[in-house]
Amino acid sequence: MEAVGTRSIAEEAQRYWRATKSKNTLVRVFQKALERSDVSRDDSVLVIGGGNIDIVLFETVGLTNYTLSNLTSSALARTDRQDKGLLFNAEDLGLPDGSFDVVFAHDVLHHCYTPHKAIREMMRVARRCVIFFDPNDSAFMRALVRLNFSFPYETGVVAALDYSGGGVMGSAIPNHIFRWTPRELQKTTNSAMPERVVRSIGYPYWDFLVNEEGLKLRGETRLGAITRTIGAGNFLRLLRFAQSLLNLWGPVRGQGNKFCGAIIKGELQPWMTPDGKALSREWKFKVASTSRG
């Protein structure tokens, strides 16, 4: 597979995102996650794997107090905020606990070696909540992979970047596409921070946020044959129409391709010591008693 075009992926993505109305579903879901997590416009936000797409998304919802971070300085240099950014590995952020009100990641976690470890780090650094977008796991999506309508590994992205990056941890090794479910998120967050009451919200949905250039990355799947037959433009119009219908009913929406996760950190568990480091000796286990008649 040849590299797609000559314009950088970042520049092309930003141009497309500023102009397209197809980001409306993502914006709507993001706004809902912000509302349910009680995030205000003044809250400080750390963006993991930040890029121009995140800049456009934050501008759209009105968040301005954010800091981009990425693995490499070259990735940050491709953004509009070249002078503002931090170099971080999502699995080892190297920041003090509670450094930001919110930690955010969009299509980043499935590029990690251990997405669960990245979630733990994001929760640690966030004072209040974590919000992320990643692929959704469902019976329908697993069927699409088996039928070769989707890949289990992101080979197309690495090929589009001239076989030099875009894979696991930004390397040229195609990453496995880790997919989430609400239950997976709940188990992950409870295990990552057992000393606290944590509320997790998992929201699967359909969002075909792709343009004709993006379809080229899927040229080696059966989608490539379909777009070559009916034309990329016609296929995209069909996707947009289908998306509007698929998101109307919860059970069908739950089979979607996208997943939004929100993690709200609460108070210490009632059995913890005030410093959150041990089980309190004052905690009395409540054992249900039964009486025999």
Contacts of 171 (CB under 8 A, 6+ apart): 165
Terminal Cα distance for the chain, rounded? 76
Helix (H) or strand (E) holding 264: strand 258-268
Residues 264 and 128: beta-carbon distance below 8 Å:
yes
DSSP string, 102-145: EEEEES-GGGSS-HHHHHHHHHHHEEEEEEEEEEBP-HHHHHHH
Give the β-pairing of 126-135 and 258-268: antiparallel
The C-alpha atoms of residue 232 and residue 229 are separated, in whole angstroms, by 9
Give the β-pairing of 126-135 and 196-205: unpaired
The C-alpha atoms of residue 179 and residue 147 are separated, in whole angstroms, by 17
pLDDT of the residue at 284: 80
Cα distances (Å, whole numbers) of residue 8 to 12, 47, 144, 175, 187: 6, 21, 29, 21, 38
- Helix ranges (H only) for 161-265 are 182-192, 212-216, 222-230, 232-246, 250-253
177: left (phi over 0), alpha (psi -120 to 50) or beta: beta
The C-alpha atoms of residue 24 and residue 116 are separated, in whole angstroms, by 29
pLDDT of the residue at 1: 41
- 288's tokens: 């249900």
The C-alpha atoms of residue 28 and residue 30 are separated, in whole angstroms, by 5
pLDDT tens digits in sequence order for the chain, 293 residues long: 444 443 455 566 566 666 666 678 999 999 999 999 999 999 999 999 988 888 889 989 999 999 999 887 777 767 776 656 788 899 999 999 999 999 999 999 999 999 999 999 999 999 999 999 999 999 999 998 898 888 899 988 888 788 888 899 989 999 999 999 999 999 999 999 999 999 999 999 999 876 555 555 555 555 556 666 666 667 677 777 888 899 999 999 999 999 999 999 999 999 999 999 999 998 887 554 444 44
pLDDT of the residue at 288: 46
